[in-house]
Every structure is written in C-alpha cells, then in structure tokens.
Amino acid sequence: ETGVTQTPRHLVMGMTNKKSLKCEQHLGHNAMYWYKQSAKKPLELMFVYNFKEQTENNSVPSRFSPECPNSSHLFLHLHTLQPEDSALYLCASSQGGRRGAYEQYFGPGTRLTVT
C-alpha cells in the first residue's frame, strides 16, 4: 500500500463504547496529524506528533486520546463520546513538522457516527 491509510472507514458507536481509529503512513514521514471535519465547519487540527512525540494538542477533550507508537502509526482512542463528536476524522502526515516547507498528505478519513 502507498500513501496514508485509515481504518475503519466507517464507524458507528454508542456513547458508552470504546473504540480506536488507526492511521498508517507509508511515505517515510516523521510527522502525523489528527483532524476533525464536521459538517459546515472548517477542518480543525486536533493533535500533532513529530518523531512520535506529541507537539500539539489543540484543547481537545480528554475523551479523545491519541497514541503514536512510531513514526508510521497513529491511533485515536475514543471513549464516552457525545453525538456532536460525529464527524469525519482525517489523518495526515508530512516529512517534517509544521511551519516548514512540508506538504501534508491526507488519508481518506473515518466517518464516525455517535448514537
């Protein structure tokens, strides 16, 4: 596989469930990102990891818990979500971190519905 992959592509979960989203990049990049895209709102950056270390957390509620075991894999652990958390969750990667000349490459996203 090439590029950035995300699994699952669709997820329906109840508010009391615990689930995880997975992202894998095959580009040899060092930085990875989680974004949330809600209907009629701009894309929002949630977390940034650079060389496995978290470098940004943009005031994301603790019911979202990221994990980056290595530069190729990124997880988003979900628990006790609310219906307003329903959205498209996008993962991205880049060669280097933010604020440079590095383009971000996105995965296809996970469509999450919280019931």
Partner 1 sequence: KQEVTQIPAALSVPEGENLVLNCSFTDSAIYNLQWFRQDPGKGLTSLLLIQSSQREQTSGRLNASLDKSSGRSTLYIAASQPGDSATYLCAVDGDKIIFGKGTRLHILP
Site residues (vs partner 1, CB under 8 A): 4, 6, 40-45, 58, 88, 90, 92, 98-109, 111
**Nearest approach, Cβ of 77 to partner 1 (angstroms)?**
21
| Residue number with CB closer to partner 1 (40 or 53) | 40
**Nearest approach, Cβ of 101 to partner 1 (angstroms)?**
5
Distant-in-sequence, close-in-space partners of 100: CB < 8 Å, separation ≥ 6: none
| Residue number with CB closer to partner 1 (36 or 114) | 36
